[in-house]
Chain A
Amino acid sequence: MDEIFGIPTPLLFGQLLLGLINGAFYAMLSLGLAVIFGLLNIINFTHGAQFMMGAFVAWMLLHYLGIGYWWALLLSPLLVGLTGVILERTMICRLYKMDHLYGMLLTFGLSLILEGIFRNQYGSSGMPYRIPPELSGAWDLGFMFMPVYRGWVVVFALFACITTWLVIEKTRLGAYLRAATENAPLVQAFGVNVPRMITLTYGAGVALAALAGVLAAPIYSVNPQMGTNLIIVVFAVVVIGGMGSILGSVLTGFGLGIIEGLTKVFYPEASATVIFIIMVIVLLARPAGLFGRA
Chain B
Amino acid sequence: MADVMTAPAGAKASTGALMEIRGLEAWYGESHVLHGVDIDIREGEVVTLLGRNGAGKTSTLRSIMGLVPRRTGSVKYDGKEFVNARPDVIARAGIAYCPEERGIFASLDVTENLMLPPTVRPGGMPLDEIYTLFPNLKERARSQGTKLSGGEQQMLAIARILRTGARLLLLDEPSEGLAPVIVQQIGRTIRELKKRGFTVLLVEQNFRFAQTVADRHYVMEHGRVVDMVANEDLNASLDRLHQYLGV
Task: State the A residues within 8 Å of B (CB).
Answer: 172, 175-176, 178-179, 181-183, 185-195
List the A side residues contacting B65 at CB < 8 Å.
189
6 A-B pairs closest in CB distance: A191-B91, A190-B117, A189-B87, A188-B87, A178-B107, A186-B103
Question: Which one of A179, A185, A191, A193 contacts B108 once the chains associate, using CB atoms below 8 Å?
Answer: A179
Which residues of A lie under 8 Å from residue B86 when comparing CB positions? 188, 195
Contact B115 A172 (CB under 8 A): yes
B56-99 contact mask (Cβ, 8 Å, vs A): 1 or 0: 00000000011100000000000000000011101110001101
| B116/A191 in contact, CB under 8 A | no
The closest CB in chain B to the CB of A195 belongs to B86
Asked whether, in the complex, the Cβ of B115 is within 8 Å of the Cβ of A188, the reply is no
Q: How many A-B residue pairs have CB under 8 A?
A: 58
> A191, B107: Cβ atoms under 8 Å?
no
Partner of B105, one of A179, A188, A191: A179
For B102, give the chain A residue with the smallest CB separation.
A186
CA distance A176 to B86 in the complex (A): 17
**B112 CB–A CB distance under 8 Å:** yes
A180 to B124, CA, bound (A): 23
B residues sitting closer than 8 Å to A (CB atoms) are: 65-67, 86-88, 90-92, 96-97, 99, 103, 105-108, 112, 115-118, 120, 161, 164
- Cβ contact within 8 Å between B91 and A189: yes
Contact indicator A175/B112 (Cβ below 8 Å): yes
Beyond A182-B107, A186-B99, A190-B164: 15 further Cβ-contacts under 8 Å?
Answer: A175-B108, A175-B115, A175-B116, A176-B116, A178-B108, A179-B108, A183-B105, A185-B87, A189-B65, A189-B66, A190-B91, A190-B161, A191-B92, A192-B88, A194-B88
B88, A193: Cβ atoms closer than 8 Å: yes
Contact B103 A183 (CB under 8 A): yes
The residue on B at minimum CB distance from A188 is B87
Choice from A189, A194, A195 contacting B97 with Cβ under 8 Å:
A189
Kindly identify which residue among B116, B120, B161 contacts A187, using a CB–CB cutoff of 8 Å.
B116
Taken together as a complex, chains A and B put the C-alpha atoms of A294 and B97 apart, in Å, by 29
> Per a CB cutoff under 8 Å, which of A188, A190, A194, A195 touches B116?
A190
Residues of A within 8 A of B107 (CB): 178-179, 181-182
Complex contacts, B120 vs chain A, CB 8 Å: 191
Residues of B within 8 A of A188 (CB): 86-88, 91
Interchain CA distance A77-B18 in the complex, whole Å: 48
Q: In whole angstroms, how far apart are the Cα atoms of A193 and B92 in the complex?
A: 10
Q: Which residue of A lies closest to B165 (CB)?
A: A191
Cα A194 to Cα B88 with chains together (Å): 8
CB–CB A179/B92 < 8 A: no
Q: Enumerate 29 A-B pairs (CB-CB under 8 Å) in ascending A order.
A: A175-B115, A179-B116, A182-B105, A183-B103, A185-B67, A185-B87, A186-B97, A186-B99, A187-B116, A188-B87, A188-B91, A189-B65, A189-B66, A189-B87, A189-B90, A190-B88, A190-B97, A190-B117, A190-B118, A190-B161, A191-B88, A191-B91, A191-B92, A191-B118, A191-B164, A192-B88, A192-B118, A193-B88, A195-B86
For A170, the closest partner residue in chain B by CB is B112
Closest to B113 in A: A179
A residues in contact with B91, CB < 8 Å:
188-191
Docked complex Cα distance between A188 and B115 (Å): 15
Determine the chain B residues whose CB is within 8 A of the CB of A179 once the complex forms: 105, 107-108, 116
Q: For residue A182, which residues in chain B have a CB less than 8 angstroms away from its CB?
A: 105-107
Q: How far is the CA of A60 from the CA of B91 in the complex (A)?
A: 45
**A181-B116 Cα distance, complex, nearest whole Å:** 14
Whether A178 contacts B67 in the complex (CB less than 8 A), given A191-B91, A191-B92, A191-B164, comes out as no
Contacts of B117 in A (CB 8 A): 190-191
Is the pair B105, A178 in contact by a Cβ cutoff of 8 Å? yes
Report B90 CB to chain A, min CB distance, Å. Answer: 8
Q: Which residues from chain A contact B108 at a C-beta distance below 8 Å?
A: 175, 178-179
